[in-house]
Structure 1
């Protein structure tokens, strides 16, 4: 279990109304004394209940606003020359 200083919880809120929840941990790839090797881990999915529970416990919780992707139509070219 990580401490409150080495973990953060993220809620990505999309303009479509969907929400996705993630957890990131502060990790090192070498030694803790080597600051160049310290970074946030890849986001791992968690449940909404876990996010709300950790927020209530005082963990760092971030809300990130994102735009829903726009789907671009690609039309097939009629009668392509060879």
Structure 2
């Protein structure tokens, strides 16, 4: 069985909440349906974009993580 690794902080501990797995360290949420890779990535990108807005001092870091997943993401490019 493949374990989930947080792409934001590298942690492998998660808490199950409301249909999501939430990273115990940084709070990034992942849908429990990891078989649907497209949905998984879309949720991760949405979470990271939200972090860009809430933590402007770390926005560049989160934007780069988004661009690792989706190199053409125009919204993430605004935070560079």
Same-fold status (TM-score > 0.5): no
TM-score relative to the length of structure 2: 0.26
Structure whose alpha-carbon radius of gyration is higher: 1
The one of the two structures with greater contact order (alpha-carbon pairs below 8 A, sep at least 6) is 1
Instruction: Kindly indicate which of the two structures has a greater share of residues assigned to helix.
Output: 2
Instruction: Kindly indicate which of the two structures has a greater share of residues assigned to strand.
Output: 1
TM-score relative to the length of structure 1: 0.25
